[in-house]
Amino acid sequence: MTSGVAACYSIADLRALARRRLPRAVFDFYDGGAEDERTLAGNRHAFDRWHLAPRVLVDVAAASSACSLLGAPAGMPAAIAPTGAAGFGCRDADLALARAAAKMGMPYTLSSSATTAIETIADKAPGRLWFQAYVLRNRDFFWQLIERARRADYEALVITVDLPVGGKRERDFHNHFAIPFRFTPRNVLDFASRPRWAVDMLLRGMPVMENLRGLEATATHASAIASSVGRSYDPAFDWARLAEVRDRWPRKLVVKGVSRGDDARRLVTMGVDAIVVSNHGGRQLDGTVPSLLALPEVLQGTGGRLPVLVDGGIRRGSDIAKALALGAQGVLLGRATLFGAVAAGDAGAQRAVDILHDELLRTMRLCGAPTVTQISADLLRPAEPDASWPALAAAPRAARHVALRAHRTPELVNP
């Protein structure tokens, strides 16, 4: 482990290390959100709405984060989320994330827009592999991607449904950032300010999105930067097309990007295997309900009939515990692990996973919950309690998911 990574004791430290290492345009691409970044901030602040109420005098000497996630064993209740273009920050960052996930015994989700090929991940980082497919206008290409994942023995397909068009990410406007890179005086100076990063890119070439080779170019000028991520996506994708995916994909199907209970109910009847409550990390539609606050409504919609995971804003092991206490089966880790990978490759990705795992175990011990199944709603108190909370905390676990939705701030119930 490099000295820089060894001195990182939190995800915030890894984020700071990534910021020092990367050109501003590249760091902002990973770090930023859409428009005013209200949803980006809201995802994080949603965790502050809940306080932990630890049990005491519980034997936690043998505490373990081992659990079942999507029907198979996992070392902790988490999976690595799909994070596109990671290789632009650090070459082979996708592999670094996949290896760290495999070492922890948790799933890794490869993005369609990764800079490492589907087959390369399967060959060099064997473990629990999920493949995330964006829905493309080029339908033949879309089905070819899915078939490649099936042949490479990925256990689950993740369909992202909250991205019919790309969001307006204004940091990218200001930084003249696009994929593929379009060099301008502004970003050339920015890239040159990080010589170690720049020399690697000059000598070895800019990475490409390996799984999208041959599809089409993205942005062509600065005014198209913010929407470039969505240029190839199909805004006509609908319930009928998703049903076709369900029919043609023979393994686990996960739908990512859900924030409404009525959509969750319909997905249950369609026969998907899991739902991820997500607003794309605040990168697309600004002003949407934070993922953690949308979780109770989605849980109510599923009625406990399939697993629900949540992503967005997770930076601490205690955040994972809060998500589980609110009813999620697990979480997806996006920026938290990405910061580690783009800061220091394999060492950084592993450090991020280790930090979160250590913090989760520490939280479990300090809360008197030696197993994942004992992380329940009675460990939580709202930051602004009301008279309904004592009865809610005493309710059976299955009933809490329904009651928690009613406990939410009224203006957020139907965003």
- Among 79, 44, 76, CA closest to 276: 79
Q: How confident is the model at residue 207 (pLDDT cuts 50, 70, 90)?
A: confident
Q: Give the pLDDT confidence score for residue 290 in this predicted structure.
A: 97
Mean local confidence (pLDDT), 72-100? 96
Residues 161-173 have pLDDT tens digits of 998 888 999 999 8
Q: Is 383 exposed, middle or buried (0-12, 13-18, 19+ CB in 10 A)?
A: exposed
Query: In this structure, what token pair is assigned to residue 211?
Result: 């799984």
* pLDDT score recorded for residue 406: 41
Express each pLDDT in 231-244 by its tens digit. Answer: 678 899 999 999 99
CB neighbour burial string for 325-349, b if at least 16 within 10 angstroms, e if fewer: bbbbbbbbbbbbbbbbbbbbbbbbb
Q: What is the reported pLDDT for 389?
A: 52
Structure tokens at 144: 């070819």
pLDDT at 3: 65
Model pLDDT, residue 412: 31
Q: Which of 249, 284, 302, 297 lies closest to 406 in space, CA to CA?
A: 297
Residue 399 scores a pLDDT above 60: no
For residue 178, the tally of other CB atoms under 10 A from its CB is: 24
Strands (E) in 86-214, as ranges, are 108-111, 129-133, 156-160
Identify the active-site residue in 280, 357, 401, 407.
280
pLDDT over 90 at 47, yes or no: yes
β-bridge mates for residue 332, sequence order? 79, 311
Residue 223 pLDDT more than 50?
no
What percent of the chain has a predicted confidence (pLDDT) above 70? Answer: 87
Amino acid at the residue 130: W
The model's pLDDT over 316-375, given as tens digits with 9 standing for 90+, comes to 999 999 999 999 999 999 999 999 999 999 999 999 999 999 999 999 999 999 999 999
- Asked whether residue 396 carries a pLDDT value surpassing 60, the answer given is no
Active site residue 51: no
- How far apart are alpha carbons 290 and 312 in whole angstroms? 8
pLDDT at 189: 86
pLDDT at 385: 67
Q: Which helix (H) or strand (E) holds 382?
A: strand 380-382
Question: What residue spans define the domains of the chain?
Answer: 3-47+67-169+229-367
For residue 144, what are the contacts with CB-CB under 8 A and spacing of at least 6?
none
Shortest CA distance to 258 belongs to which of 321, 214, 204, 302?
302
Q: Is the predicted pLDDT of residue 221 greater than 90, yes or no?
A: no
Compute the average pLDDT of residues 107-128. 96
Q: pTM (2 decimals)?
A: 0.89
Distance CA(76)–CA(330), nearest Å, equals 8
Q: Which helix (H) or strand (E) holds 18?
A: helix 11-21
- The secondary structure of 335-374 as a DSSP string is HHHHHHHHHHHHHHHHHHHHHHHHHHHHHHHHTT--SGGG
- Give residue 180's pLDDT band: very low, low, confident or very high (50, 70, 90): low
pLDDT at position 342, please? 97
- In CATH terms, 3-47+67-169+229-367 corresponds, of 3.20.20.70, 3.10.310.30, 3.30.460.10, 3.40.1160.10, to 3.20.20.70
Contact 326, 380 (CB under 8 A): yes
In this predicted structure, what is the pLDDT of residue 414?
Answer: 29
Listed range (109-123, 203-217, 293-307, 356-370) with the worst mean pLDDT: 203-217
Residue with tokens 């049990």: 55
Question: Within 13 Å of residue 37, how many CA atoms lie on the same side as its CB?
Answer: 15
SS3 state of residue 310: strand
Write down the mean pLDDT value for the chain: 89
- Specify the pLDDT at position 314: 98
pLDDT value, residue 222 = 36
219 or 215: which carries more pLDDT confidence?
215
Local confidence band at 219 (pLDDT 50, 70, 90 cut-offs):
very low
CA distance 388 to 384: 12
Residue 227 pLDDT > 50, yes or no?
no
Range in 1-5, 297-301, 341-345 with the lowest mean pLDDT? 1-5
pLDDT of 140 over the 80 cut: yes
